[in-house]
Amino acid sequence: MLRAAFYTLGCKVNQYESNAMMSAFEEAGFTIVEPEEEADVYVINSCTVTATGDKKSRQALRRFRRQSPLAVLVLCGCFPQAFPEEASLIPEADIVMGSKNRRDVLQAVQERLAGGERVVKILPHTAGEPFEPMKIGGFHSRTRAFLKIQDGCERRCSYCIIPDARGPIRSKPLQDIQEELAALGAQGYREVVLVGINLSCYGLDLGLSLTDALEVACHTPGIARVRLGSLEPELLTDEMMEKWKKLPGLCPQFHLSLQSGCDATLQRMNRHYDTAEYRRIAAALRKAFPGCALTTDVMVAFPGETEEEYEASEAFVREMNFARTHVFVYSPRKGTPAALMPQVDKQVASQRAKRMAQAAEDCRSRFLQEQLGSVQPVLWENRDSNGLWQGYTPNYTQVYLDSDRELNRQIVEVELTQLYQDGCMGRLAEG
């Protein structure tokens, strides 16, 4: 039996798409193995948000070629889509495809295994193209499931290559969402995360809204929790929040993309909000969902960022008291306006990243401290290397528990008693 391994870089959308490809390969008779194992096929599902992502894709191709010299190596996803000429010249890749035609990967692999020629097939995105239908048979090694409901972005932030990599906005039809959710619920998944490239734009091409998808998800039998992926803050309205707070099982954790807490920087980034609007939206969410967790992404060393601008950004991050913040250094992307702007010194960038990471950690510690003493329903996922159960509260606080009970995929209430590693230790509230 042929063996296939998948190596996924980047976001939860990529994770969903990799699992969809895995399902197709399994239906065709392949055995799915880990990337560290010997395989007949290796599929690298790439990310190109930063130059580091491109580098990791190249490194993976070289590693898999050394590991299995006769294997078929596939490079697909955002990197080839955004930079087709560059990707097509990578010698280790037997098959190169973009982000538009992942359903064709299996056929290309089968033809290559049968002695076919090298394949480079990167289809351009076009206005009005439909949402690519994909279905998953399940998620490997996961308790929660991701469900991709939206693709594409048209915001054109000055630093971002993703509109080129992903094309125009397009949405999964509600009927397809309903069917896939029902299948996941029947398989025992208790939590589903709705994800997209620009999730807040769901439905704009179908005359629908994100609320419509949420209502379907929150009323699916078997699904106890629904969580949202990354959201663009300026697209959230008070009307949406009023509807959301009435939905059963919607998790009070919202990832609001920030990028910078400085208005001048936000303007150069071509973001579509300022700090005042962001502050208002955050306050509205916290009012609608008391005790909710707000998480975010913050970029440091954007072109032209002065020390004063950095300090304004850090001060805003501290003010917002995010539960979790992903800090990253700006990475120039060829073909974007920001790549032509004056760049910040790399040493300065590194120092700012460390400072912002400390600010993020301070906020994280305060958030976790606020959770102590509360009783929370935790969805248990697995045991860690120390034998402790690991799981998450609705607001995505990671909880650890020492118990002999079998808790996998169960939702059990615990009292959060003390800080532990990156979360909290708990004890069963049932006594």
pLDDT of residue 134: 84
**Residues 159 and 107 grouped into a single domain:** no
With respect to residue 181, please indicate whether it lies within any of the assigned structural domains.
Answer: yes
pLDDT tens-digit map of 210-244: 999 999 999 999 999 999 999 999 989 999 999 99
Mean per-residue pLDDT, 368-397: 95
Mean per-residue pLDDT, 382-388: 91
Domain coverage including residue 324: 145-371
**Residues 340 and 248 grouped into a single domain:** yes
- Dihedral over Cα of 289, 290, 291, 295: its sign: positive
Query: From edge to edge, which strands make up the β-sheet containing 253-256?
Result: 230-231, 253-256, 293-300, 324-329
**Residues 379 and 359 grouped into a single domain:** no
**Residues 104 and 237 grouped into a single domain:** no
pLDDT tens-digit map of 243-259: 999 999 999 999 999 99
Angle, vertex CA 123, rays to CA 118 and CA 128, nearest 5: 165
**Residues 275 and 404 grouped into a single domain:** no
Report strand pairing: 170-171 vs 225-228. Answer: unpaired
Angle, vertex CA 249, rays to CA 245 and CA 253, nearest 5: 65
pLDDT tens-digit map of 254-282: 999 999 999 999 999 999 999 999 999 99
With respect to residue 113, please indicate whether it lies within any of the assigned structural domains.
Answer: yes
User: Does pLDDT of 364 surpass 90?
Assistant: yes
Residue 121, beta-bridge partner list: 97
The residue to which tokens 């190249």 are assigned: 58
**Residues 388 and 418 grouped into a single domain:** yes
Is the pTM of the predicted complex or chain greater than 0.75?
Answer: yes
pLDDT tens-digit map of 34-77: 999 999 999 999 999 998 999 999 999 999 999 999 999 999 99
**Residues 280 and 160 grouped into a single domain:** yes
With respect to residue 136, please indicate whether it lies within any of the assigned structural domains.
Answer: no
Q: How many domains does the chain have?
A: 3
With respect to residue 129, please indicate whether it lies within any of the assigned structural domains.
Answer: no
**Residues 405 and 363 grouped into a single domain:** no
pLDDT of residue 431: 52
Per DSSP, 141 falls in state: T
Work out the mean pLDDT of the chain and round it to a whole number: 94
